[in-house]
Amino acid sequence: MKHHAALVLFLLAASATYGPRLSKSSVNGDDALMKEVIQNGLVKMPGWKYTLKDSDISDIIAYVRTLPEPPPPTAKPGGAAE
Ligand code: HEM
């Protein structure tokens, strides 16, 4: 598998399992800030600066910026919205 494909799969697995849904508007569309989040982590998120190279992080940011914004949450039938 190409390295880039592996990165994208890893990102999908990580974001689908743990964090918020990422999209082109994540972190207000601020690429520099997203890089910082990926390197140093956040409250519950681990940092990746010892795991991912600078170029890997740029690839991930470029990929995240291709993702459309998620639709607004819908109310569940018969119940309150989440
Ligand atoms: C390289 C893979 C990952 C990338 C690129 C990534 C990226 C991000 C970004 C950009 C945010 C900020 C979203 C926003 O504010 O709109 C975020 C938040 C978050 N991420 Fe990740 N993430 C990754 C892996 C993970 C993993 C493995 C976990 C869990 C172990 C995780 C847990 C979280 C959580 C819980 C948040 C919400 C803020 C907080 O409470 O820390 N992420 N992530």
| Containing structural domain, residue 60 | 2-64
* Distance in angstroms (rounded) separating the CA atoms of residues 61 and 18: 18
**Is 74 inside any structural domain?**
no
Return mean pLDDT, the chain: 85
**Is 72 inside any structural domain?**
no
Domain total of the chain? 1
> How does residue 70 score in pLDDT terms, banded at 50, 70 and 90?
confident
**Is 78 inside any structural domain?**
no
Work out the burial of residue 7: count CB atoms within 10 Å of its CB; fewer than 13 is exposed, 13-18 middle, 19 or more buried: middle
pTM: 0.78
Residue with the nearest Cα to atom 6 of ligand 1? Answer: 38
Nearest atom of ligand 1 to the alpha carbon of 11: 2
Residues with CB under 6 A from ligand 1: 11, 14, 18-20, 22, 26-27, 34, 37-38, 42-46, 48, 60
